Amino acid sequence: MLVTGGAGFIGSHTVDLLMSLGCKVSVLDNLSTGYMANLAQWDADPRFAFVGGDITKDLAEPLAAAVAKFGPIQRIAHFAAQTAVPVSMDDPVTDIEVNLAGTARILEYARRNKVAKVFFASSSAVYDDDAPVPVSEDSTARPASPYGIDKLAVEIYLDYYTRLYGLKFTALRFMNVYGPRQDPSSWYSGVISIFLDRAVAGDQITIFDDGEQTRDFVYVTDVANAVVTSLFSPKPDGAIINIGTGVEVTINEITRTILALAQSRSVVKYEPARPGDIRRSVTTMDRATALLAFTPKVDLREGLDHTLAWVRAQKSSAA
Ligand SMILES: NC(=O)c1ccc[n+]([C@@H]2O[C@H](COP(=O)([O-])OP(=O)(O)OC[C@H]3O[C@@H](n4cnc5c(N)ncnc54)[C@H](O)[C@@H]3O)[C@@H](O)[C@H]2O)c1
C-alpha cells in the first residue's frame, strides 16, 4: 500500500487506520506541508516505510526500496497536493505541475506496475459556487479556482485510465475536513483549526463576511474510514463521491461553540467577504451511503473536543 502525502493531515490519519488494520504501508511525501511527527507512532514498525520524494519527479527509483521490502504496490491512496486555493490562483502553473502533472505520474506508475486500485483525494472545490445546496455529485462542476480545475481534470484522467487501461479508482470529493494535525499556522488552513488555535491563545478571531455563510464540517477519522473503504471495496469502483456530513453549520455557530468549549474570551471581529468565498456549502449523502455505507460517526461537538485537546497539547509541548 502506498500513501502519497501520508505525512499530512488527512493522509496521516489514513496511515493510522491502515496500519491498525495490519497493512504494510509506504508513505511518499516531500514534507512541504506534512510532518514526520504525524507518523512518529509507526517509525519503528517493520510494516511501515517512509520514502522522502516528490510526485513531480520520477517515482520508480525512490519507491524501489519500499517495493523490495514489501513487494509490488497493490493500492495507492493519493493525497499529495498543493492544497491552498489562493496559492493556486496566484500561481496556476505550480498548481498544474503538482496537482495535475504530479498526479499523472502517479497514474502512469499505477498503469505500468499494474496497481489494483487508486484512491484520489478530490474536493468540493470542483462545484460551481452558485450550485444549489445541498450539492450532489450531479451538481454542476464549474471550479472557481485552478485548484478546483486541477482536481476535476484528474477525475477526468481517472475515467480515461479506466476506459483505456482498466485502472480501478475511486475519487472522494471532500467537504471541509477538520481534526487533530490540521496545521493552524497557515491562513489557508481550515477555519476550525485556526479558530481553535486563536481561541486557546486568547487571540482575536476574524470572521470574513457576516458569519452566516455555511460549511459542512466532516471529522478526519470519518474521512479516513471512507478512504479505506473505497480502497478495499469493489462497490465504489469508478465512482466519484462527496464526503461530508450533510449538516450545514454557520461560521457564527461554529465560532460560538469553539469559544464556549475553549472557555475563551477572544474578541470576534468581522471583515468584508473575501473574493471567491462561497456562501453555502453542504452535501447530499445518498451516494456515500449507497456505495460506501458511509455515515459519519463523530459529531461536531465530539470532533471539536478532540481537536481542542490536540491544540492544547501542541501548545503546551511548544511552551
Ligand atoms: N483538508 C480539507 O478540508 C480538504 C478538502 C478537500 C480536499 N482535500 C485534499 O485532501 C488531500 C490532503 O489534504 P490535507 O488537508 O491533508 O493537506 P496536507 O497539506 O496536510 O497534506 C498534503 C501532503 O502532501 C505532501 N506533498 C505536497 N506536495 C507534494 C509533492 N509534490 N510530493 C510529495 N508530497 C507532497 C505534503 O508534504 C503533505 O504531507 C489533498 O489532496 C487536498 O487537496 C483536503
Q: Specify the range with the lowest mean pLDDT, choosing from 16-20, 79-83, 143-147, 313-317.
A: 313-317
157 is catalytic: no
Task: Check if 34 has its Cβ closer than 6 Å to any atom of ligand 1.
Answer: yes
Q: Is residue 180 lining ligand 1, measured as CB closer than 6 Å?
A: no
- Which protein residue's CA is at the shortest distance from atom 32 of ligand 1? 54
Q: What is the predicted pLDDT for the residue at 188?
A: 64
The residue contributing the CA closest to ligand 1 atom 18 is 8
Q: Where are the domains of the chain?
A: 2-177+217-243, 179-215+247-281+298-318
pLDDT of residue 232: 98
- Tally Cβ neighbours within 10 Å of residue 56: 17
Q: What are phi and psi of 216, to 5 degrees?
A: -110, 105
**Beta strand spans in the chain (E):** 2-4, 25-29, 48-52, 75-78, 117-123, 168-174, 176-178, 205-208, 214-215, 217-219, 239-243, 249-250, 268-271
Residue 277: pLDDT above 90?
Answer: no
CATH number of 2-177+217-243: 3.40.50.720
Query: What share of the chain has pLDDT > 70, as a percent?
Result: 99
Mean pLDDT, rounded, for 254-270: 97
What pLDDT band is residue 184 in, cutting at 50, 70 and 90? Answer: confident
Classify domain 179-215+247-281+298-318 by CATH number: 3.90.25.10
Catalytic residue among 35, 109, 127, 147: 147
Q: pLDDT by residue (tens digit) across 41-63? A: 999 999 999 999 999 999 999 99
**Average pLDDT, integer, range 256-283:** 93
* pLDDT digits 0-9 by tens, 216-243: 999 999 999 999 999 999 999 999 999 9
How do residues 66-75 score in pLDDT, each as one tens digit? 999 999 999 9
Q: Which amino acid is at 117?
A: K
Q: Which amino acid is at 69?
A: K
Does the pLDDT at position 150 exceed 90? yes
